[in-house]
Amino acid sequence: MAFTKIASQSDLPALNEAREFSCAGKEICIANVNGAYRAIDNICLHQGGPLGQGMIEDGKIVCPWHGWQWDPVSGEAAHNPRAKLNVYPLKIENGEVLIEI
């Protein structure tokens, strides 16, 4: 798989915040969780809430619509590990944020 530019490093969210990005026809949430950037599907499995508009709480991405919490490393819902979102490798090179979708 190849890495694709999704954003500039200056577009990344601040510490313990999340932001939405589009790449390769997908909506991606990039979250800055305790200083580590994580990329995960942006659409909550509950009712389609935009995770990139949510917040970070106790290391989890919290959906702004109904509060479902997602592990940004595994993609698993906090309350049900069988509910799982895709997570994507990210890297930063020369001020560009690259994602492998």
In tens, the pLDDT along 52-78 reads 999 999 999 999 999 999 999 999 999
What are the structural domain ranges in the chain?
3-100
Task: Give the pLDDT mean for 35-56.
Answer: 97
- In this structure, which long-range contacts are made by residues 85-89, counting pairs with CB atoms below 8 Å and at least 24 apart in sequence? 85/40, 85/41, 85/43, 85/45, 86/40, 86/41, 87/38, 87/39, 87/40, 87/41, 88/28, 88/39, 88/40, 89/3, 89/39
CATH code linked to domain 3-100? 2.102.10.10
In tens, the pLDDT along 10-28 reads 999 999 999 999 999 999 9
